């Protein structure tokens, strides 16, 4: 049975810094023998959580849209790369809508519905060169991943990323990203 790694890009910029980092992690995973797939949230059609609690009485979200399909992909994956720029102290709106829908991955007793042993990498970019300025956004999402039972294996953050291709000037981070994928 082949192992599967997926990447989720919360950036509206196709081939931008976050997209490139997520793709690089997936490239490392592919070299390690994983089957890979990448999902760009900005190209998907979905709504935010409706607070209906349907998912607590059933094992899935009531909504039938692109994020519902993505949640099934997350459930079926062995490793997930979660990527988002940080624009205004938090991950993008596209990412946060998807993150809220991840609520359906826990049951009414707040236990994860995901199989144990999934690995995760978080990838971010921000204009501020001080990575600690928005560290709280990463820590909060890391808490979500912990609740869901993921093992967070790496966090890669690019600062001073005003230019859409600033990552190309950081071969050290690209190498870390590829190594993170190979380590899944």
User: What DSSP assignment string belongs to 40-63?
Assistant: EGGGS---------HHHHSSS-S-
Backbone angles phi, psi at 126, to 5 degrees: -155, 155
Residues of the chain with pLDDT under 70: 1
Q: What is the CATH number of the domain that holds 87?
A: 3.40.50.360
| Whole-number pLDDT of residue 54 | 97
- Residue 142 has a CB neighbour count (10 Å cut-off) of 16
| Whole-number pLDDT of residue 48 | 96
d(CA 38, CA 153): 19
Q: Which residue has the tokens 């829908």?
A: 101
Which positions ≥6 away from 145 have C-beta within 8 Å? Answer: 82, 120, 122, 152
The residue count of the chain comes to 184
Print the domain residue range for 121.
4-182
Taking only the tens place, the pLDDT of each residue in 78-96 is: 999 999 999 999 999 999 9
Task: Answer for the pair 166, 125: CB distance below 8 angstroms, yes or no.
Answer: yes
| Whole-number pLDDT of residue 2 | 87
Q: How many domains does the chain have?
A: 1
Buried b (16+ CB within 10 A) or exposed e, 48-69: ebeeeeebeeeeebebeebbee
Asked whether the whole model's pTM tops 0.85, one would answer: yes
């Amino acid at each position: 049975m082949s192992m599967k790694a997926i990447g989720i890009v919360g950036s509206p910029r196709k081939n931008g810094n976050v997209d490139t980092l997520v793709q690089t992690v997936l490239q490392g995973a592919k070299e390690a023998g994983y089957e890979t797939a990448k999902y760009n949230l900005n190209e998907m059609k979905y709504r935010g959580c409706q607070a209906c609690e349907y998912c607590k009485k059933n094992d899935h979200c009531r909504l039938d849209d692109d994020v519902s399909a993505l949640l099934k992909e997350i459930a079926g994956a062995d490793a997930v790369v979660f990527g988002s720029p940080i624009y205004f102290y938090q991950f993008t709106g596209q990412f946060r809508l998807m993150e809220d829908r991840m609520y359906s991955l826990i049951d009414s007793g707040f236990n994860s519905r995901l199989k144990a042993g999934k690995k995760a990498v978080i990838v971010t970019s921000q204009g501020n060169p001080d990575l600690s300025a928005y560290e709280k956004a990463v820590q909060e999402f890391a808490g979500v991943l912990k609740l869901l039972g993921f093992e967070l294996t790496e966090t890669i953050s690019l600062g001073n990323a005003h230019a859409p291709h600033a990552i190309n000037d950081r071969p050290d981070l690209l190498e870390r990203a590829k190594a993170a994928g190979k380590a899944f």
